[in-house]
Amino acid sequence: MRIAIDIHGVLRDTNEKIKQVYEKYLIDEQELDENKEFTYEMNLPVNTTNLLNHFSFPSEDDFFIFMYEDFVMQIFGHSPSTEMSTFQDLDETYHSFKEDFKFILISNEVGKSKPATLFFISKFGCQIDKIIFYNKLTENTIWDEFDILLTSNPELLLQNNNKIIIKYTTEYNESIDTEYTINTIKELPSLLTKIKNNNV
């Protein structure tokens, strides 16, 4: 069976890095600007997937420039992992189950966030062979690539598409019910054993 693991929210704490960069470069900088025309503010916690609900910008274009041009490497390349041991736990799971499962990484990326994400993966020494980047336009095409999906993304969790869905619990998906749920990558091996036994 093929299992796809979503990078954002499961392996990478992108939202935490956005908060750090936003605070340092926009909020702190505006305090030094006596002629500021716009007030940058954060609405925390980030409990929805629409980041504009939580980080104010003059326009959507300014948000896009912040995310995917001005600070793309800081945000997507230098984000922390979701937990201290995320990638150690992932690699141990990969080596324990690679005879029974084919592991794939997926990630919703735009433009320069793709190489930044590759840097993030290499920084933590991830050994999984296949990575698939998708975006809003290509989201529907990725479902043929896997049988099991581990994600925190509410949009993907709600689509299902007759796949086995594992929810990685976050503040922005707590209300969504799925058959399988984990709170940490450490819980993945026992769940994969269960799935494997159910599909023998």
Could you tell me the CATH number of the domain that includes residue 119? 3.40.50.1000
d(C-alpha 160, C-alpha 148), whole Å = 10
User: Do residues 168 and 85 share a domain?
Assistant: yes
For residue 114, give its domain range: 2-13+80-198
Please list the residues that pair with 87 across neighbouring strands: none
Average pLDDT taken over every residue of the chain = 92
User: Do residues 106 and 163 share a domain?
Assistant: yes
User: Do residues 115 and 148 share a domain?
Assistant: yes
Query: Which of 77, 103, 124 delimits the end of a domain?
Result: 77
d(C-alpha 133, C-alpha 150), whole Å = 15
- Average pLDDT of the residues in 164-173: 93
Decide which of 106 and 39 is more confident. 106
Which structure tokens are listed for 26?
Answer: 């926009």
Q: Which amino acid is at 30?
A: Q
User: Do residues 67 and 108 share a domain?
Assistant: no
Cβ proximity of 184 and 167 under 8 Å: no
Q: How many domains does the chain have?
A: 2
Which structure tokens are listed for 132?
Answer: 């698939």
Tell me: pLDDT of 22 over 70: yes
User: Do residues 93 and 184 share a domain?
Assistant: yes
- Average pLDDT of the residues in 50-58: 94
- The pLDDT tens digits of the residues spanning 98-112 come to 999 999 999 999 999
Q: What is the value of pTM for the model shown?
A: 0.92
User: Do residues 102 and 167 share a domain?
Assistant: yes
User: Do residues 30 and 97 share a domain?
Assistant: no
- Average pLDDT of the residues in 56-64: 94
d(C-alpha 66, C-alpha 72), whole Å = 7
User: Do residues 181 and 150 share a domain?
Assistant: yes
In what helix (H) or strand (E) does residue 15 lie, and over which residues does it extend?
Answer: helix 14-22
